[in-house]
Amino acid sequence: RRYNSIKTMLIQEHSKLSKIMTRCQTFFESIGEAVEKLDLDNHLVKAMHVQEWVNVDYQKRVLHGYVKSLHVNRFTEGRTVTVAFDPRSLAQVNGMAQDMEKVPEEMTMEDALGLGGCTKANPTVLDNDFDEEDEKDMVWWVVGDMYRQEQVELDDTGPGRSLPRLTVTYGCYQLEFQVKQSTIQTAGYGVFVRCVGFNSQPGQPKIPFKLQPGELLDLGVYAPITPCDCKED
C-alpha cells in the first residue's frame, strides 16, 4: 500500500505503528538524539504571538509574546510551537492571577494553536511564505464581550431547585447556554444553546451567527480543572 505522506500512513496504521514508534523513541533517546528536531529556518520563528482567554470569573486576559522555536517530530511530521512571553505582559497577567493560574515564561503548544496566535497578532504573517495546510489547520481563541452566569428556576425543575445558565454576548449576538431536562426519555439533563441577534430589523432577514474559520469562542471554565477553578458555592 502506498501513502502520500508519513502523516497519512500514521493515521491509517496507527494501531500497528504505535509499538514501533515507542521503540524508535527509546532508541533515539539511548543514543542521545531527540525525537523532535528544531526547525530554526521556519519563517514563524520570532513572529509575534498573542493569546486571549477568560478565567473562572469570566475576566478577560491577554498575553503577548513571540515564537521562540518550532519542533518537528521525526515520525509524525507534526509540529509543536514554543512561545516565550513578553516579561511586561506576563507580569501584568500574573499580577492579577492566583498562584494556580500563573502562566510560565514559556509555553509549548500544538502547531495549530501556535500558528493561530501568530495570525491573531499579525494577520499578514503567512503572506511571505503561504502554506495552504497551515491556514486550514490554524485556530485561535476569541473572547466574548460580556458574560453572565446565574442559577435559574425552570418549570420542570421543581420549587427551590435551580439550574445553571451562561449568557455570552459576542458582537451583536447573545448566546444562552441552559442546563435543563432533555426531551429524550431517560436521557437526563443536557446543555441547550439559543442564539439571539440584536441586529434584527422589522421586515429584514436575520443575519446568522457565525465565527470566522479557525476562531474558537471561549466559554470560560465550565468544570473544575485545577483547585483555583473551584468555587465555594
The whole-number pLDDT of residue 90 equals 94
pLDDT interval class at 224 (50, 70, 90): very low
pLDDT interval class at 72 (50, 70, 90): confident
pLDDT interval class at 16 (50, 70, 90): low
pLDDT interval class at 76 (50, 70, 90): low
Q: What are phi and psi of 58, to 5 degrees?
A: 60, 35
In the chain, the percentage of residues whose pLDDT exceeds 90 is 24
Q: How far apart are CA 46 and CA 110, in angstroms?
A: 17
Q: How far apart are CA 217 and CA 176, in angstroms?
A: 13
Q: How far apart are CA 98 and CA 202, in angstroms?
A: 48
Q: How far apart are CA 146 and CA 201, in angstroms?
A: 23
The whole-number pLDDT of residue 130 equals 47
Taking only the tens place, the pLDDT of each residue in 21-32 is: 566 656 556 655
Q: Residue 160: how many CA atoms within 13 Å on its side-chain side?
A: 0
* pLDDT value at 134 more than 70: no
In 3D, which of 169, 180, 164, 150 has the Cα closest to residue 209?
169
Reading the block at residue 18, the C-alpha cell is 504505535
In 3D, which of 3, 6, 10, 77 has the Cα closest to residue 37?
77
* pLDDT value at 36 more than 90: no
Instruction: State mean pLDDT over 155-172.
Output: 82
Beta-bridge mates of residue 85: 65
Q: How far apart are CA 50 and CA 45, in angstroms?
A: 14
pLDDT interval class at 43 (50, 70, 90): confident
The whole-number pLDDT of residue 57 equals 83
Mean pLDDT, all residues of the chain:
78
